[in-house]
Structure 1
Amino acid sequence: MHFVNLFHDGAARAAVSDGDHYRLLPAADGLSAELGERIARGEDLARTAETARTAGERVPAATARFAPLLTRPGKVICLGLNYFDHAKEGGRDKPTYPWFFLRAASSLLAHGEPAPLPTVSTQYDYEAELAVVIGQRGKRVPRERALDLVLGYSCFNDLSVRDYQKKTPQWTIGKNFDASGAFGPALVLAGDLPPGGRDLRIQCRVNGQVMQDANTSSMIFDVAETIEILTGCMTLEPGDVIVMGTPAGVGFARQPPVWLKDGDRVEVEIEGVGCLSNPVVPGG
């Protein structure tokens, strides 16, 4: 099943794909209808979707306006240098422990929405990534049970302001400009994909030109190992997100560098998961 978050009647509303339409998921009185809130309170999305497909309000896919897949996730934990070829192109050795950093909810951007160029930099870069949405609470979870925590997967574009990223060794500032983390368009339930989201082709295209082309099986730390490592340190909760790192081919490593510019369209496509697309526009 493919779930989305749509702007409808002034608010984010969860919906399920139904051919050339989406069906809005019904919401109980007094409870948020937004996808992330439903996940956080433990709603059975598959069961709700069955009701929606017979009684939910229809929204044509052609006119749907998306919200970020989860508008206010509890934690967005990102991995850097999680494909060896990407570490190598940046002059790094293969990590022996994941390079973790966090993204704020204010940095998230919806599918189809304009990605604003930063006004303080010309070094705006793309990064195609697999996003993991957590559906169960877990602490100190061994690798063999780690995938039980995963609700599903989505696409993520970790748009990065490279000169700001390099101002400090912690990366945070260059990864948290407003509307710089494109997320969506859909949540695909884990049971509809290979375990751990492995063996999926992942691409980034800029104006139709393929810039990154890899396979998720090339991740250094796979989803299960990453969850084991994280839950050894912190509790993962429903609605948390893990963004699994990007393969080689990013703009800063090219000669000459390729920076995103006004009028570009950047796409992240992951096999079986979907295609996340955003136009690049001047910053405000």
Structure 2
Amino acid sequence: MSAHALPSRRGSGAARHIRLALMLPGLLGLGVTFLLPLAWLFRMSLSDAQLGQPDTGRLTLQYYASALADPFYWKVALNTFAMSALVAVLAVLLSFPIALFLARSQSRWRGVLVALAIAPLLTSTVVRTYGWMVILGDQGLVNGSLRWLGWIDAPLPISNNFFAAVIALTELLMPYAILAMLSGFGRLHADYESAAALLGANRWKVLWRIVLPLSVPGIATGALLVFVLSLSAFVTPRLVGGGRVFLLATEIYSEATVTLNWPLAAALSAILLVLFGGVIVIYQRVLSAADRRYGESA
């Protein structure tokens, strides 16, 4: 072994210890604020406690069995998944042109435009939700305008339902989609589009064959973020849905605060986490497929 190898190994070992020391506060915070509550959640979901009776300490899967055997909770899970998927698709479709414009912009006002795109995040979610309740209500802006124009005689059923929750969540989560797609557009280069145009490709072919494939990581990240946020959304569906939209988040809240059935609420929360995990797996596979395709084309 040469004399130069020992200092390099000692230096690498010292750097590794420094990295671990710097990571330690974050790991401790993550353990205290996330892992311990998560462990308590799973322990509560396995409790055999009944309403009005103490926990005996025995572990059981009865609340998982009751949740999975009840058609109502299957319908709630399906509604949650369908609403989250629909909101993710709509938010990505509406946000993609904005994010693409901001990514390509060379204007000195680009920073201002990005700030305006994410400015709704500076307003409370509750305030924006109440705004949608005013807009979509029976006496709201939409129905009032249509009545004033004489196009309708009775208010349209666009409030206190699934449709209203989807519309409100889409608008509320669009800034997150824009930010996620902006950060994921690193592969987009004007040189690729110029080369395709020189080879005779029109704008639609450039968009379909060049821009969209290179935008897949950003689109997937935006869709994942919006899907996860809408999957766990509670305030907006509860208020805009008028208590008629039943989702996993609203049912977990009801079981934990109204019926005080904490083990069932914990079991539903664990099921929601499983849905999160499934979505993450799909996201990773989409990114892997996009990376393979990008590597082959490169």
Where is the helix percentage greater, Structure 1 or Structure 2?
Answer: 2
TM-score (norm 1): 0.24
Where is the strand percentage greater, Structure 1 or Structure 2?
Answer: 1
TM-score (norm 2): 0.23
Larger radius of gyration: 2
